[in-house]
Structure 1
């Protein structure tokens, strides 16, 4: 059983945890790289589904290095980033909240828990989207790329140094989320229902035995939840 009441600092990933937006992000990458050869694009998009939590900057570096087999030309990566950003700016604010998001955030506020967002999404874009959706005020702060998620989590922990590490919980749906939590010595909870790479996370969970829930609707401070 998981006793969520002991956690005073809650750090959330966004895509696949707070918002059902993983599919939109894949569509944004597909749109950005659509002019490249299909034999490079198709495997890249499969890779991208396993790399959620990685920033768009690092993901596009992988596109050039691993799938095109070359370095980006001057301005080439920047052009793809601009196309990707334009797509996200249009689509992000219309992405639905995941099941249980609003009720959990309301409960955290009522119980005086501290909540942050640490996401691979670009920070300015993320803050704008969550503001438009109406949940930005539920968080003490919202952080995103281009900084690495591991570093974002480390900064949050330093900001809240009065809270012990065993009172901090990271809620994520991807390998990068687990790595950000484990590298900072804090607990990790997998949110599985909206994940882009469920089979990959199943393998990781069997190896490291971290707890999981399907949706945030299963998480409550006042009740213990099965793992």
Structure 2
């Protein structure tokens, strides 16, 4: 069957925002040691599809070996979001290959965004960047990506063999595999070697993998 439904990751696929988000974590955790900061930044780079809520908790519980309440996690996540809303409303960060495909083909496919970034922040950014109208839904954390993908499949009654997730991280791959849909690696970054991964250099190659 041909592909009819495309689920896009956001950071690193639609917006070249990973470097900006990394600087955001540097600012959020300024004042901690260089070693502690390096650990969380490395974790962030290797887990692009995981939410800031998860990464903040990881930093406190695994790096600092401290407890952190849900309220404190949410407060830090909100600080991070304020920084991101200011820095990411920048059209120069748009990945033109992806957005040109989306703009030219949004009537030909059912398109969704599923991201580890905050859902409210994503909807704000997409509206400000003029992208919101191309997608049926724009979804993000705090709901995990694996859950978001499953909910979209159920809500819209998509056939799994007609649905693909395009992402740049191992967590995107895991979300696709867990839900039984295809995965295409675009601008993919991972320290983990994956044997069955399908890589594309341009979103336009999607039909080659139908």
TM-score (norm 2): 0.91
Alignment of 1:66-105 (within 5 A): 66-72=62-68, 76-94=72-90, 96-105=93-102
- Whether the aligned pair in 2 keeps the contact of 1:104 and 1:219 (CA below 8 Å) is no
Partners of 1:73 and 1:149 in 2: CA distance = 22
CA RMSD, Structure 1 to Structure 2 (Å): 2.0
Distance (Å, rounded) in 2 between the aligned partners of 1:116 and 1:64: 32
Q: Relative to structure 1, is the Cα distance of residues 136 and 40 closer, same or farther in structure 2, using a 3 angstrom cutoff?
A: same
Partner of residue 170, structure 1: 165
Question: Is residue 207 of structure 2 the alignment partner of residue 212 of structure 1?
Answer: no
1:155 to 151, 155, 165: 151
How many residue pairs match? The answer is 209
**Per the alignment, in what secondary structure is the counterpart of residue 6 of structure 1?**
coil
Give 1:220 deviation, angstroms. 5.1
Relative to the length of structure 1, the TM-score reads 0.85
**Is residue 2:115 matched to residue 1:119?**
yes
| SS of corresponding position for 1:100 | helix
CA distance in 2, matches of 1:54, 1:124: 16
Kindly indicate whether the alpha-carbon contact (under 8 Å) linking 1:98 and 1:215 is maintained by their aligned counterparts in 2. Answer: no
Q: 1:181 aligns with which of 171, 176, 188?
A: 176
Separation in structure 2 between the aligned mates of residue 61 and residue 29 of structure 1, nearest angstrom:
13
The residue number in structure 1 matching 2:39 is: 43
Which structure's relative contact order is higher, taking Cα pairs within 8 Å and 6+ residues apart? Answer: 1
Taking structure 1 as reference, are residues 190 and 99 closer, same or farther at Cα in structure 2, changes over 3 Å only? same
Judge conservation of contact 1:165–1:186 (CA < 8 Å) in 2.
yes
Structure 1: 5+ residue runs without aligned partners?
A: none
Q: Any unmatched runs of 5+ in structure 2?
A: none
Question: Partner of 2:112: helix, strand, or coil?
Answer: strand
Matched residue of 2:121: which SS? helix
Is 1:139 matched with 2:128?
A: no
How many Å apart are 1:75 and its aligned residue? 5.3
Q: 1:73 to 1:122 in 2, by over 3 A?
A: closer
**Structure 1 SS opposite 2:164:** strand
